[in-house]
Amino acid sequence: MTEGAAVLGVGAAFAGYRIEGVLGRGGMGTVYLARHPRLPRSVALKLLDHEVSTDTELVRRFEREADVIARLEHPGIIGVLDRGADDGHLWIAMQYVRGSDAASLDPRAYPAATVVRLVGETASALDYAHSQGVLHRDVKPANILIAASDAFRESHAILTDFGIARLTDPASTKVTATGTFTATLSYGSPEQLSGQAVDHRSDQYSLACTLFAILTGQPPYTATNPGQVIMGHLSQPVPRLTATRPDLPPAMDAVLDRAMAKQRDDRFASCSEFTAAALGALEGLHIAGSARSATTAVHSAPHEQPVSAAPIPEHRQVSPVWTPERQPAPPVWTPPGPVATPHPYPRPYAGGARRPAERFETRPSRTTALTAVIVTLICALFGTAGFLIALAAALRAVAAGSPHVAAYAVVLLIGGVLVLLWNSAWLLLLAARHLGRMLTIGCSGLGTIIGVLGMAASPYVVIPERFLAAAQGTAAIVLCASAAGLVCAAHRSTARWIAYRTAHRNTPRGW
């Protein structure tokens, strides 16, 4: 294997792994798609380049990334599987995520609520890392992987690249060389850019910049001169999100104003609180105003000199100390009724019955929802049986040379679509999907109309006398069952149950 930027080709073997392709390349090395030597799975194999392997700081950063990720167990954080050294290359085998990163998202192709949900999942991962004493310090769209959706789960975000993460333990060893700045300028917090001590709210600032960038297609402060970007973070007001996205509510500006406050004490208490407020703003809830001071100047005490964006001297690189007791806990919104004391790392809102302020402290009853499922299933079974009977009759008529083939085909097509909708409704509702609830409401409403029309029209249709009572009874059963399904599916308790299941489906175990 030779030195250089691309050292491994497809099919090459390295440390027992079989290279299948190149996923990306960074300043420290290359990330390959590789086949695990013992398990039937693919991994992301990250290799440190030969030419930088002699750089002590980069080697320590590379090793630290594996150490940091290995101690974090969270579904929203990339998993590390193994690490080692082979042929002069340090390597890490990590979880392979099928999808793309957030930097490649088209801001117009995704609803704002979906973007906020994905960023909220990253916020949950960051809050977990902070609770374990780890700061990421380089949150940006390129470091958020968006895993593609499948039949069992919608698309979700996974945080990666902890290469410059730092432990909040003040005794931890610093790995940043004198005069070296590691955070990405477009997403760095004012305290990072000015060489001050950072804490968990620095990651929140970067996450707010990330949300701004995904929604607009560019970071909040853009310039060809890096100094102008730095001064934007340090002294310029937060750009108005609605200036680029007028389709979003003005309350989103207030949320970003607070999350990107120059003074970290004026920001939200946690990353999840910030993203919950953003989703609340999209839903039209009242967002508590920021209590921060003006953003047009670098905040400092009267006796202090303004901070500088010059290279950071070693004596100013102070390890951050985060003490949760010092966190402010301002409210995010003003919900009606009493408000319970929030969790230290609040669970992000993950959809549901459009009630972001609801914490679901108790499990909602599922009786009403299951009643709707059962009634819809019964209607679907009757509909399926009727469709099969009609299909058999049509096949016999066609075999007998009936001239009404086209009419049979139209009737069977309509009946097949209705049966498909009925069966999809109860299956999706049983899986606690909002689409299932909407389909159940629609199908039950249609069944109610059919039942009413059947009862009203049966005396005037040419039906043999011996079948008239049976037809009216069938119409009455359809009417009653459909009405019951409609009421149960539209009931608020069904919506609460779906919201609860959705929130717990997207929330890590143990929270």
Are 423 and 355 part of one and the same domain?
Answer: no
Average pLDDT over residues 329-341: 43
In this predicted structure, the answer to whether residue 168 has a pLDDT above a threshold of 80 is no
- pLDDT confidence of residue 175: 39
Are 49 and 129 part of one and the same domain?
Answer: no
* Residue among 312, 283, 293 at smallest CA distance from 188: 312
Are 314 and 417 part of one and the same domain?
Answer: no
List, in sequence order, every residue forming a beta bridge with 299; answer none if it has no partner: none
Predicted confidence (pLDDT) per residue in 463-492, tens digit: 555 566 776 777 777 788 888 888 888 888
Q: Is 26 left (phi over 0), alpha (psi -120 to 50) or beta?
A: beta
Assess contact for 211 and 278: CB atoms under 8 A: yes
In this predicted structure, the answer to whether residue 251 has a pLDDT above a threshold of 60 is yes
Q: Classify residue 400: in a domain, yes or no.
A: yes
* Residue among 114, 112, 59 at smallest CA distance from 89: 59
- pLDDT confidence of residue 241: 95
Between 85-89, 247-251, 259-263, the lowest mean confidence (pLDDT) is in 85-89
- CB burial of 392-428 (b: ≥16 within 10 Å; e: otherwise) equals eebeeeeeeeeeeeeebeeebeebeebbebbbbbbbb
Domain boundary among 44, 65, 95: 95
- pLDDT confidence of residue 54: 64
Are 354 and 424 part of one and the same domain?
Answer: no
Sign of the CA dihedral with 273 first, then 278, 282, and 285 last:
positive
HEC per residue, 54-113: CCHHHHHHHHHHHHHHHCCCCCCECCEEEEEEECCEEEEEEECCCEEEHHHCCCCCCCHH
Q: Sorting pLDDT into bands at 50, 70 and 90, what band is 110?
A: confident
Q: Classify residue 5: in a domain, yes or no.
A: no
Between 29-38, 237-246, 470-479, the lowest mean confidence (pLDDT) is in 470-479
Domain region containing 250: 99-298+306-359
* Residue among 138, 119, 149 at smallest CA distance from 203: 138
Are 142 and 212 part of one and the same domain?
Answer: yes
Sign of the CA dihedral with 202 first, then 203, 205, and 206 last:
positive
Q: What is the DSSP letter of 203?
A: H
CATH code assigned at 19 = 3.30.200.20
Q: Sorting pLDDT into bands at 50, 70 and 90, what band is 448?
A: confident
Are 117 and 264 part of one and the same domain?
Answer: yes
Q: Sorting pLDDT into bands at 50, 70 and 90, what band is 128?
A: very high
- pLDDT confidence of residue 408: 72
Residue 316, both tokens? 């100013």
Q: Given the residues 101, 138, 161, 199, select the one marked as catalytic.
A: 138
Number of H helices, E strands in the chain: 13, 11
Are 381 and 468 part of one and the same domain?
Answer: yes
- Annotation marks residue 266 as catalytic: no
Domain boundary among 66, 95, 124: 95
Average pLDDT over residues 97-115: 88
Q: Classify residue 412: in a domain, yes or no.
A: yes
Domain boundary among 61, 95, 129: 95
Are 257 and 113 part of one and the same domain?
Answer: yes
Query: Rg of the chain's alpha carbons, rounded to an integer?
Result: 29
Question: Beta strands 99-101 and 80-86: pairing type?
Answer: unpaired
Predicted confidence (pLDDT) per residue in 171-205, tens digit: 333 334 333 444 578 999 999 999 888 999 999 99
DSSP class per residue in 248-311: S-THHHHHHHHHT-SSGGGS-SSHHHHHHHHHHHHTT--BPPP----SSS----TTSPPP--SP
Q: Please state the domain count of the chain.
A: 3
Task: Specify the DSSP element, H or E, that contains 420.
Answer: helix 405-430
